[in-house]
A and B are shown apart, each in its own frame.
Chain A
Amino acid sequence: MHSTHIYFSDIGIRFGHQQVLTDTELEIISGRCILLCGKNGSGKTTLLRIIAGLEVPNTGFVNTGIGKYDLNKYRQQLRQTTVYLHQQPYMFDGDVVSNLNFSLNNKLTRKQRTDRINSAIEWAGLQNIANNSAKTLSGGERQRVAIARAWLRNPGVLLLDEPITNMDQGSRSRTIELLINLKQQGVALVVSSHDPVHFGALTDTLLQISEGRVHRFRTSDNVTPIHYRKHLNKNAKQT
């Protein structure tokens, strides 16, 4: 796993007359997890998509240590480093194995492909559903297949949009276990959630997006999403 340290600055994006993000900064480091919190429509997904190179910002710079580049000119490189997982990950037609196969480099031999797919199936605990049609999987199973598919890409940064929304307790725990494992492998994680309470064991940096700006709330030394939730509740009562 290669080391990742990317610093984003001055990210701004506007949709029509609405300024969604302004002067946004973000530092992504290998083996660390950023939790992006904020209300629905606050710009969490947009920020993840910009980092993934899927959305074109109006302004923005990226610094990987070599130099500072215009974010729009760096989108190609960002796509090589990052993998973005939609809130409801898309599954291609075919079974789970063929979906995992999609992530693999064409230059691999058939045996290498089989070995890698088998290791991904084992890693993500997909043995029972490996030959099932991917389109018929439950939300939790889809998320695990999507994470395994991303894992096969060996990404520097994994961007997850509301990864445990509408999941039962069991699926939620399994998904978070996989994310913790990825983090231990050195993958940088950026997770968006409107409800941060489930990510306590995962989070190093907690950021809140509101009114188009990112506010650092706490850092790894003392972050507890439960405290953050209390903070939000307190603010809500005050207003």
Chain B
Amino acid sequence: MDESTSITLDAIHLLFSGDAELWKIIAVSFQVSSTAILISVPPALAIAFILANADFPGRRLLISIFNTLLAVPAVVIGLTFYLLLSKQGPMGDWKLLFTQSAMIMGQTALCFPILVAMGHAAFQAVDKRAWETARTLGASPSLAFYTVMKEARFGLLAALFAAYGRIIAEVGASMMLGGNILHYTRNIPTAIALETSKGEFSQGIALGIVLIILAFALNTSLQYFQGKGHLSN
């Protein structure tokens, strides 16, 4: 048996043996990323809807800004929040650096532009008559918004999954803002980076398998929600 096969088998064994440390890392990852997504979704979708439906000065500039933010590397987001949250920074008194809250802030900043940009595209694809029909049939603005969201659901789900996939796998911001503290801020990507640097590949591969399973689950769910997955006749 060669070394890589042996490491992979060790990783699978580690994953299914119920290793407490490994599962704590996975739990931190999901806890932080899910909180960041939950915080981001309502305002991001509201902004996306307004950008798609309202006409106001600066709208195009805002769209360009959000599209530009898509390309900002996670490490730059991490650095920005590090400077803000460090002792000398304007938010230093909050003492949030190297906490899960700091990681959540960083991941929120990372997923927000994805949700806005992809949400905007999804809302833009919905016929404007959907909103008008809902309103003329007596729907309140909030019900009409919900109706349009339902019409745009595939695009919005794609935005949600893309944003979640981005933040749960990012290493730069989590490392800088969380500090990779075991049982507290160590998440899947920072743990992989650490274990690899130590030459302990088994845990890294086990965590990598979790990320791949997650990516597969998200994409399968999206395919399921989208139905046939090809153009209708």
A83 and B147 contact, Cβ closer than 8 Å, known pairs A90-B127, A90-B130? no
B134 adjacent to chain A (CB < 8 Å): yes
| Closest residue of B by beta carbon distance from A87 | B129
The residues of A that contact B134 with a CB separation of less than 8 Å are 102
The residues of B that contact A93 with a CB separation of less than 8 Å are 150-151
A89 adjacent to chain B (CB < 8 Å): yes
B136 adjacent to chain A (CB < 8 Å): yes
The residues of B that contact A103 with a CB separation of less than 8 Å are 137-138
B133 adjacent to chain A (CB < 8 Å): yes
A interface size (C-beta, 8 A): 18
B132 adjacent to chain A (CB < 8 Å): yes
In the bound complex, do residue A54 and residue B135 qualify as a contact, i.e. CB atoms below 8 Å apart? Answer: yes
Residue-wise interface mask of B (128-161) relative to A, using a CB-CB cutoff of 8 A (1 in contact, 0 not): 0110111111110000000100110000000000
A149 and B132 contact, Cβ closer than 8 Å, known pairs A90-B127, A92-B151? no
A61 adjacent to chain B (CB < 8 Å): no
Within 8 A of A (CB), among B151-197: 151
The residues of B that contact A83 with a CB separation of less than 8 Å are 136-137
CA A153 to CA B133, docked complex, whole Å: 12
CA A93 to CA B132, docked complex, whole Å: 15
Residue-wise interface mask of A (90-104) relative to B, using a CB-CB cutoff of 8 A (1 in contact, 0 not): 101100000000110
In the bound complex, do residue B129 and residue A90 qualify as a contact, i.e. CB atoms below 8 Å apart? Answer: yes
CA A215 to CA B59, docked complex, whole Å: 40
Within 8 A of B (CB), among A78-92: 79-80, 82-84, 86, 88-90, 92
In the bound complex, do residue B151 and residue A79 qualify as a contact, i.e. CB atoms below 8 Å apart? Answer: no
| Closest residue of A by beta carbon distance from B137 | A103
In the bound complex, do residue A79 and residue B133 qualify as a contact, i.e. CB atoms below 8 Å apart? Answer: no
Min Cβ gap B176→A in Å is 43
Min Cβ gap B57→A in Å is 16
Min Cβ gap B62→A in Å is 23
Residue-wise interface mask of A (39-68) relative to B, using a CB-CB cutoff of 8 A (1 in contact, 0 not): 000000000000010100000000000000
In the bound complex, do residue A80 and residue B151 qualify as a contact, i.e. CB atoms below 8 Å apart? Answer: no
The residues of B that contact A102 with a CB separation of less than 8 Å are 134, 137, 139, 147
In the bound complex, do residue B150 and residue A79 qualify as a contact, i.e. CB atoms below 8 Å apart? Answer: no
The residues of B that contact A149 with a CB separation of less than 8 Å are 137
| Closest residue of A by beta carbon distance from B130 | A90
CA A79 to CA B139, docked complex, whole Å: 10
Min Cβ gap B174→A in Å is 38
| Closest residue of A by beta carbon distance from B153 | A93
**Can you list 29 residue pairs at the A/B interface with Cβ under 8 Å?**
A52-B136, A54-B132, A54-B135, A79-B135, A79-B138, A80-B138, A82-B136, A83-B136, A83-B137, A84-B136, A86-B129, A86-B132, A86-B133, A88-B129, A89-B133, A90-B127, A90-B129, A90-B130, A90-B132, A90-B133, A92-B130, A92-B133, A92-B150, A102-B134, A102-B139, A102-B147, A103-B137, A103-B138, A153-B138
**Interface of A toward B, CB cutoff 8 Å:** 52, 54, 79-80, 82-84, 86, 88-90, 92-93, 102-103, 149-150, 153
Q: Which 7 A-B pairs have the closest CB atoms?
A: A90-B129, A90-B133, A84-B136, A103-B137, A86-B129, A83-B136, A54-B132
With A52-B136, A90-B129 given, can you name 19 additional A-B contacts, CB distance below 8 Å? A54-B136, A79-B138, A80-B138, A82-B136, A83-B136, A86-B129, A86-B133, A88-B129, A89-B133, A90-B127, A90-B133, A92-B150, A92-B151, A93-B150, A102-B134, A102-B139, A103-B138, A153-B137, A153-B138
